[in-house]
Chain A
Amino acid sequence: MQNRDSYNKIEDFLSDESFQKWVKGNDDPLNWSEWTVENPYRAKLVEEARMWILAMATKETTLSNQETQKALQKVWKKIGRSNEKLPFRAIWHHKWFRTAAAVFVVGLATFFYYANLSSPQNTTITYQELVKSDLNGLIEQTNNSDKPQLITLSDASSVLLQPNSKLSYPKIFTGNERKVYLSGEGFFEISKDPNRAFYVYANETVTKVFGTSFRVIAYANQPNVEVLVRTGKVKVSSNQNIRNATLEEVMLLPNQAARFVRKEQLFEKILDITQDKPLLASTNTMEQLSFDFKDIPVHQIFKTLEQGYLITIDFPEEKLKECYLTTSLSDVPLPEKLKIICESLGNNSRYEMNGNYIKIISNGCK
């Protein structure tokens, strides 16, 4: 664009977007007001140009986002229809073609039927749809209480399910994938298994990990889905069954998060959870506790675990009084944590787990 200092005719101003904005009383980042009064000839010209713009207003209506989306869906429908129409034309009278066409139509109908099954028309995906589409028998755990609930999966991963949340998972993970479905909020600690990726399906997002800990917040009635990483590396992408979904992926490292804005179907990446107020508010004791212990009495370690997982740990206090441990437990799920502790204690120490109640059986650390 031409430098405004060389403007010398009305047209120059009319075609300058920032000038138009200024005239219409919107923002003035280029400071036209000041520039105008720098010289009297200029001021005159600007005043004329201003009048021209005022006399050339248009009443444009901006269509709502909703209306635009409706129109876009109509377009996709029309596109679908015109694709179907193509093969039927001049050769319609051949008998072989009729047969072929009949087969084609049936095929097409079947295809669209199944295509529809896996890709719902609208762009939101609900927990119900996800669970329905999984053909393995799933167990569903619902937390209707007012306290987080601990779930241990068959691969020794643990999930702290928040109130008003649901998790569906197979009794035993088979094949080379581990898939669970979440509605609501859960804190996941996934046991390491480089050969079997672990997937959390939550609304329109899929979180893929091999072994880490992270939180997923995906309530059906909330505008966003959020994934917050505590340890390890996590890959979040949009569920490919969403219509028009891009294969967008977000890689997250510890203390990073991804927020999927459901209405707009896009990801925001948050590079520092502690700098994002709404996210920080949704982390809780789990993320704030440290599971790195350096020469710490074991009863205190148990206390930390109790706080984090909201569990009860029953242990022979007297026998373990003199036991101190140095260990890093932050990157492993609860069963693994307990196992490591018992192994460190030695002496055939072991644990038993029954829901939120854990019993440590030990004769002390020598």
Chain B
Amino acid sequence: MEKIRSHINNISDSSLWNKLRLGDEEAFSSLFERYYSTLVNYGKKLMTGEDRVKDCVQDVFVDIWTYRYKLNEAIVVKAYLLSSVRKRIARLHNREHIFSNIKNIDSLEFLFDFSIEDRLIAEETTTKKVEQLNKSINQLSDRQKEAIYLRYHQGLSVEQVAEVLNLNYQSTKNLLHRAILQLRKDFPISALFLLLNFSPNYF
């Protein structure tokens, strides 16, 4: 059977984004539907109170629509949205802590612990190793955890992680790399990794 699904699901983020910039309500709604859940999930890791987070995400979209004619064309939509949510939460955060020393979004806490996919582990030795590794990961700094989350769970590139965290590329790369190094140190490294440490491709 041949069917044409003349729908928006197959349309790329960037073409929806460009339509949105020209005032296309449908494109706007589609992007909202596509990312609302993701953004709420991310926001919940930066701020407590699910309703506040949802409000925040919605306000990000209100702003996008209100200033649609001023939006930049050349962006990666997902990274832009994650970054907007983060900035907005940081601003709220600053307002609430007006008398504290917190001044910028670097100070946002990443209220989140990675968990274990235990349903997928069969052997006991693996369980132990995974638990240990999980503990080490959760002991990383908030920034490192957030970088890992954005890079490996949201699938952002290093450049995009840098944009969201408001850091430059090199610092972000270092942040991620130091996180991995730290984990290796804590984690019983197999001979293979030692070997790879000398390989020229390593970095």
Choose among A24, A72, A264 the residue with the greatest number of B CB atoms under 10 Å from its CB.
A72
Q: Are A269 and B4 in touch, CB under 8 angstroms?
A: yes
Q: Are A268 and B41 in touch, CB under 8 angstroms?
A: no
Q: Count the B residues whose beta carbon is within 8 Å of the partner chain — how many?
A: 58
Q: Which residue of A has the minimal Cβ distance to B195?
A: A41
Interface string of B167-185 (1 = CB under 8 A from A): 0000000001000100100
A59 to B183 alpha-carbon distance, docked (Å)? 21
Q: Which residue of B has the minimal Cβ distance to A276?
A: B1
Q: Which of A71, A246, A271, A276 contacts B54 (CB 8 A)?
A: A71
Q: Are B180 and A82 in touch, CB under 8 angstroms?
A: no
Within 8 A of B (CB), among A231-259: 244-246, 248, 250
Interface size range of chain A in the complex: 35 or more
Q: Does A79 reach chain B (CB closer than 8 Å)?
A: yes
Q: Does A78 reach chain B (CB closer than 8 Å)?
A: yes
Q: Are B41 and A248 in touch, CB under 8 angstroms?
A: no
A302 to B41 alpha-carbon distance, docked (Å)? 67
The distance from the CB of B62 to the nearest CB of chain A, in whole angstroms, is: 5
A180 to B36 alpha-carbon distance, docked (Å)? 39
Given A8-B196, A63-B37: A57 touches B114 (CB 8 Å cut-off): yes
A24 to B7 alpha-carbon distance, docked (Å)? 30
The distance from the CB of B73 to the nearest CB of chain A, in whole angstroms, is: 21
Q: Does B40 reach chain A (CB closer than 8 Å)?
A: yes
Q: Which of B33, B129, B152 contacts A72 (CB 8 A)?
A: B33
Q: Are A56 and B6 in touch, CB under 8 angstroms?
A: no
Q: Does B81 reach chain A (CB closer than 8 Å)?
A: no
Q: Are B41 and A60 in touch, CB under 8 angstroms?
A: yes
A331 to B9 alpha-carbon distance, docked (Å)? 37
List chain B residues, Cβ under 8 A from A319: none
Q: Which of B32, B114, B153 contacts A55 (CB 8 A)?
A: B114
The distance from the CB of B94 to the nearest CB of chain A, in whole angstroms, is: 22
A68 to B38 alpha-carbon distance, docked (Å)? 11
List chain B residues, Cβ under 8 A from A54: 116-118, 120-121, 126, 130
Q: Are A270 and B3 in touch, CB under 8 angstroms?
A: yes
Interface string of A50-81 (1 = CB under 8 A from B): 01111111111111000011011011001100
Q: Which of A51, A75, A79, A272 contacts B126 (CB 8 A)?
A: A51
List chain B residues, Cβ under 8 A from A318: none
Q: Are A51 and B133 in touch, CB under 8 angstroms?
A: yes
Q: Does B25 reach chain A (CB closer than 8 Å)?
A: yes
Q: Which of A60, A63, A250, A267 contacts B36 (CB 8 A)?
A: A63
A214 to B114 alpha-carbon distance, docked (Å)? 57
Interface string of A252-291 (1 = CB under 8 A from B): 0000000000001011111110011000000000000000
Q: Are A14 and B202 in touch, CB under 8 angstroms?
A: no
A86 to B65 alpha-carbon distance, docked (Å)? 15
Q: Are B155 and A267 in touch, CB under 8 angstroms?
A: no
A264 to B8 alpha-carbon distance, docked (Å)? 10
Q: Does A129 reach chain B (CB closer than 8 Å)?
A: no
A82 to B62 alpha-carbon distance, docked (Å)? 9
Q: Does B66 reach chain A (CB closer than 8 Å)?
A: yes
List chain A residues, Cβ under 8 A from B114: 55-58
Q: Are A275 and B2 in touch, CB under 8 angstroms?
A: yes
List chain A residues, Cβ under 8 A from B70: none
Within 8 A of B (CB), among A1-58: 6, 8-11, 14-15, 17, 20, 23-25, 41, 44-45, 48, 51-58
Q: Are B121 and A74 in touch, CB under 8 angstroms?
A: no
A166 to B155 alpha-carbon distance, docked (Å)? 52
Q: Which of A6, A55, A266, A276 contacts B6 (CB 8 A)?
A: A266
A62 to B36 alpha-carbon distance, docked (Å)? 9
Q: Are A9 and B196 in touch, CB under 8 angstroms?
A: yes
Given A51-B129, A75-B62, A270-B3: A41 touches B192 (CB 8 Å cut-off): yes
Q: Does B137 reach chain A (CB closer than 8 Å)?
A: yes
List chain A residues, Cβ under 8 A from B33: 68-69, 72
List chain B residues, Cβ under 8 A from A11: 176, 180
List chain A residues, Cβ under 8 A from B176: 11
A74 to B56 alpha-carbon distance, docked (Å)? 12
List chain A residues, Cβ under 8 A from B17: none
* Interface CB pairs A-B, < 8 A, 9: A51-B129, A54-B118, A55-B137, A56-B134, A57-B116, A68-B33, A71-B54, A246-B26, A270-B1
Q: Which residues of B are in contact with A by a Cβ distance under 8 Å? A: 1-8, 24-26, 29, 32-33, 36-38, 40-41, 54, 57-59, 61-62, 65-66, 112, 114-118, 120-121, 126, 129-131, 133-134, 137, 148-149, 151-153, 155, 176, 180, 183, 190, 192-193, 196, 199, 201-202
Q: Which residues of A are in contact with B by a Cβ distance under 8 Å? A: 6, 8-11, 14-15, 17, 20, 23-25, 41, 44-45, 48, 51-63, 68-69, 71-72, 74-75, 78-79, 82-83, 244-246, 248, 250, 264, 266-272, 275-276
8 additional contacts (CB under 8 A) given A15-B152, A55-B137, A75-B58: A11-B180, A15-B151, A17-B155, A68-B37, A72-B29, A244-B25, A266-B6, A271-B3
